[in-house]
Amino acid sequence: MAMNDSVNILNSAYLAVEYIDSFLPDNPLQQPFKNAWNYMLDNYTKFQIATWGSLIVHEAAYFLLCVPGFVFQFIPYMQKYKIQQDKPETWEKQWKCFKTLLFNHFFIQLPLICGTYYFTEYFNIPYEWEEMPRWYVLVAQCFGCAVIEDAWHYFLHRLLHHKRIYKYIHKVHHEFVSPFGMQAEYAHPLETLILGTGFFIGIVVFCNHVILLWAWVICRLMETIDVHSGYDVPLNPLHLVPFYAGARFHDFHHMNFIGNYASTFTWWDRIFGTDSQFIAYKEKEKKQQLISKK
């Protein structure tokens, strides 16, 4: 009975969104995107699209999303939004991070990406434009992937902080006490595999078109680069996402090497009390701000 009620609620929500969507003006970018998509299908094989297309999407999204945070270090006005103002970025650290990223991307992640085509073939995941889900379905699927990945990340990340394991794997990621955007995927190869597994679970559950693979890659990179940016910028649109953790939440984890283990949302840390030190820190910070205003 409860299952039927849940299905009915979801169907009603879907119909409501579909009804609202019918009143929205046509997206002027839809036709150019459709033409580009069909051109891709006509000129490249599914293997090329799944493999090299996925690699290009990942690399382009990763480094383009890193650009704002990289530029912020050269803008004096933005320094007031830097969370750890006493620890500025250095060229030495950024260059070291970049070299490790290239190794991880091409020797760890690329072999995994090469399996994308076989994954789509095994599960009969379509590539055709006509099979592409509507935008609101894609948004819901990405949110579902984020919820699943967040749960996986919380428990495995917390495990990697165990005193018997930490120094062998996760310590690499914590080399930078004050994180910056490009450092989001700076990690031991084993950590890339362990925590990266959570990314694929949502794909297995929700994927009904190859576009979800790329949409979820972009969403996940957008989130992880934001929380590692080191800047708590106002009017950040990601703060509109319910229970979103954000840069200040994760920056505290890098400062203290404990607590705030979740990747995207705050609920697991709240349930298990692993955000208690962060809450106390925020309360202390608020008191100091009040005193300074007097």
For 247, the token pair is 């840069």
- Over residues 35-81, the pLDDT tens digits come to 999 999 999 999 999 999 999 999 999 999 999 999 999 999 999 99
pLDDT score recorded for residue 285: 78
DSSP 187: -
Are 191 and 169 spatial neighbours (Cβ–Cβ below 8 Å)? yes
Structure tokens given for 50: 């799944």
Q: Give me Rg for the CA atoms of the chain.
A: 21
pLDDT at 294: 60
pLDDT in tens, 9-28: 445 555 566 656 666 677 78
Planar angle of CA 190, 166, 187, nearest 5 degrees: 40
Question: Domain map of the chain by residue range?
Answer: 56-293
Residue type, 171: K
Q: What are 82's strand-pairing partners?
A: 231
Tokens of 23: 């009143």
What whole-number distance in Å separates Cα of residue 213 and Cα of residue 210? 5
Distance CA 127, CA 289 (A): 54
Three-class HEC string of 131-166: HCCCHHHHHHHHHHHHHHHHHHHHHHHHHHCCCCCH
Which DSSP symbol is given to 82? B
- Residue 7 pLDDT: 43
* Contacts of 293 by beta carbon, 8 Å cutoff, 6+ apart: none
Residues of the chain with pLDDT under 50: 1-3, 6-7, 9-10
Tokens of 25: 């003006």
- The dihedral built from the CA positions of residue 16, 22, 23 and 29, taken in this order, carries a sign that is positive
**Alpha carbons 168 and 190: distance in angstroms, whole number:** 10
Which pLDDT value is given to residue 2?
Answer: 46
